[in-house]
Amino acid sequence: MSLSASLHPPTRVLMGPGPSGAHPRVLRAMTAPLLGHLDPEFLRVMDGCRAMLRQVLRTTNEVTLATPGTGTSGMEAAVMNLVEPGDGVVVAVSGYFGDRIAQMAERAGGGVTRVSAPWGSPVDADAVEVAIRAAGNVRVVAAVHAETSTGVRQPIEPLASAAKAAGALLVVDCVTSLGGIAVEADRWGADVVYSGTQKCLSAPPGAAPITLSPAAWEKVRARETPCNSWYLDLQLLEAYWDERRTYHHTAPISMVYALHEALSLVLEEGLEQRWARHARNGAALQSGLEAMGLVLHADAAHRLPVLTTVRVPEGVNEAQVRGALLERHGVEIGGGLGELRGKVWRVGLMGESSIPGNVLLFLAVFGRVLREQGFKADVREALGAAAARLDQP
Ligand SMILES: *Cc1c(COP(=O)(O)O)cnc(C)c1O
């Protein structure tokens, strides 16, 4: 290959845990002419993002912006700014991403208590309440709304009540939920909500929406020691996003265009309609997989429509199945993370990837590959069950 070889990525059907397929309008927005990061026209784009983010996050919080970087930058901004050395922090951990929050909180100097649940169930709010009381000096409680490693939806409101009762602030990871299932920052009583662009918002990875309640902002501003991250210091970031427009970093211009277009698409579709679309396609996929004879890993009462974990049947090679799907059918799905490594597949139906055609395509090719592996997948039953579910509202 010559050094100047051109780039030819193949077209894939992205049904893994992210990135999801981006809408052509989002990709087109990224090819718009670059502007300077302080050009009044670009500042208007930023203001548009801020206003639309408030709508999509369902919040009136003044401090609402997007950090430069993938979803993890939103997580790091939330934790590094909110947690001060010595603060008690209780983290609900029922998967890989909850544990990542806990690790960050430890690096921020927090005294961290993990409240764990088996990978496949949500964390019990009563257990969180007990842990808050036992730990003392708890200033921050954190949880993952949609745990992408397990496919589980964590109920947030009971955690918000537990946090509030103890005078602590609640941080919620909505990286995989925003734009796919209901996220209601203000109604929940969440103090910090962050997300990412590459899951249900269907833009490329590269920005992380984040919003802070007045109480969370007060804690950030009252810090005795500066935030350990300069790049993700929310006080510096806010000074660029608000009317002060103080230079902090060169905004990732094209990524902000992408976010703007992706948010416009979400609002054009309508949040409720978008949640209903994800719910329907997710339910159809899950009906189809069960009709095929497979076992879903997450608790039935807490399954996410946007990310489904499927147990690998006895005798089937998990990685070979994923490889065959990608190489022969152009379909990407994910393998298990952490303690579910080798035990489950993770199938995403996020944003633009959440369409009926992908549900039926996936069931057909997945069943075929499983049959080659000796698992008697009933593809006809699977397609029938999924199609029946897709016909319902
Ligand atoms: C994907 C994901 C992240 C991390 O986002 P990146 O874009 O990979 O940095 C954090 N939390 C959850 C729940 C996720 O699904």
18 is written with which tokens? 């992210």
Residue in 70, 91, 147, 346 to alter for ligand 1 test, most ligand atoms within 8 A of Cβ: 70
Nearest CA to ligand 1 atom 5: 71
pLDDT of residue 232: 98
Q: pLDDT (tens digit, 9 = 90+) per residue, 230-263? A: 999 999 999 999 999 999 999 999 999 999 999 9
Q: What angle do CA 16, 17, 20 make, to 5 degrees?
A: 70
CA 145–ligand 1 middle distance (angstroms): 11
For residue 273, the cross-strand partners are none
* Average confidence (pLDDT) over 330-349: 97
Q: What's the pLDDT band for 368 if we cut at 50, 70, 90?
A: very high
Task: Please state the atom number of ligand 1 nearest to the C-alpha of residue 205.
Answer: 7
Going along the chain from its start, the domains and CATH numbers come out as 24-267 (3.40.640.10), 271-390 (3.90.1150.10)
pLDDT of residue 4: 75
pLDDT of residue 44: 98
pLDDT of residue 150: 98
Task: Please state the atom number of ligand 1 nearest to the C-alpha of residue 149.
Answer: 15
Q: What's the pLDDT band for 18 if we cut at 50, 70, 90?
A: very high
DSSP string, 55-106: HHHT---SEEEEEESSHHHHHHHHHHHH--TT-EEEEEESSHHHHHHHHHHH
Look at residues 130, 129, 63, 74 and name the one whose alpha carbon lies nearest to residue 97: 74
The yes-or-no verdict on residue 283 having pLDDT over 60 is yes
* Average confidence (pLDDT) over 181-210: 98
For residue 281, the cross-strand partners are none
CA 363–ligand 1 middle distance (angstroms): 26
* Average confidence (pLDDT) over 356-368: 98
pLDDT of residue 265: 98
Kind of pairing between the strands at 111-116 and 88-93:
parallel
130 is written with which tokens? 């007990």
Q: What's the pLDDT band for 287 if we cut at 50, 70, 90?
A: very high
pLDDT of residue 217: 98
Task: Please state the atom number of ligand 1 nearest to the C-alpha of residue 196.
Answer: 7
The CA-to-CA distance between both ends of the chain, in Å, stands at 51
Using alpha carbons, list the distances in angstroms from residue 240 to 51, 209, 244, 249, 311: 15, 15, 6, 9, 46
The yes-or-no verdict on residue 3 having pLDDT over 90 is no
User: Cβ of 267: how many Cβ atoms within 10 Å?
Assistant: 12
CA atoms of 393 and 143, how far apart (whole Å): 31
Instruction: State the DSSP H helix or E strand holding residue 322, giving kind and residue range, or none if neither.
Output: helix 318-329
CA atoms of 52 and 364, how far apart (whole Å): 38
Nearest CA to ligand 1 atom 2: 175
Q: Ligand 1 in contact with 205 (CB < 6 A)?
A: yes
Q: pLDDT (tens digit, 9 = 90+) per residue, 49-80? A: 999 999 999 999 999 999 999 999 999 999 99
Q: pLDDT (tens digit, 9 = 90+) per residue, 288-301? A: 999 999 999 999 99
* Average confidence (pLDDT) over 129-138: 96
Q: Ligand 1 in contact with 18 (CB < 6 A)?
A: yes
The yes-or-no verdict on residue 393 having pLDDT over 90 is no
pLDDT of residue 1: 52
Instruction: State the DSSP H helix or E strand holding residue 14, giving kind and residue range, or none if neither.
Output: strand 13-14
* Average confidence (pLDDT) over 199-218: 98
Name the one residue in this structure whose structure tokens are 């990875």. Answer: 205
Check: CB of residue 137 under 8 Å from CB of residue 87. Answer: yes
Q: pTM for the full model?
A: 0.98
Q: Which amino acid is at 196?
A: G
Task: Please state the atom number of ligand 1 nearest to the C-alpha of residue 174.
Answer: 13
pLDDT of residue 2: 61
Q: Ligand 1 in contact with 198 (CB < 6 A)?
A: yes
Torsions phi, psi of 352, nearest 5? -65, -20
CA atoms of 119 and 114, how far apart (whole Å): 14
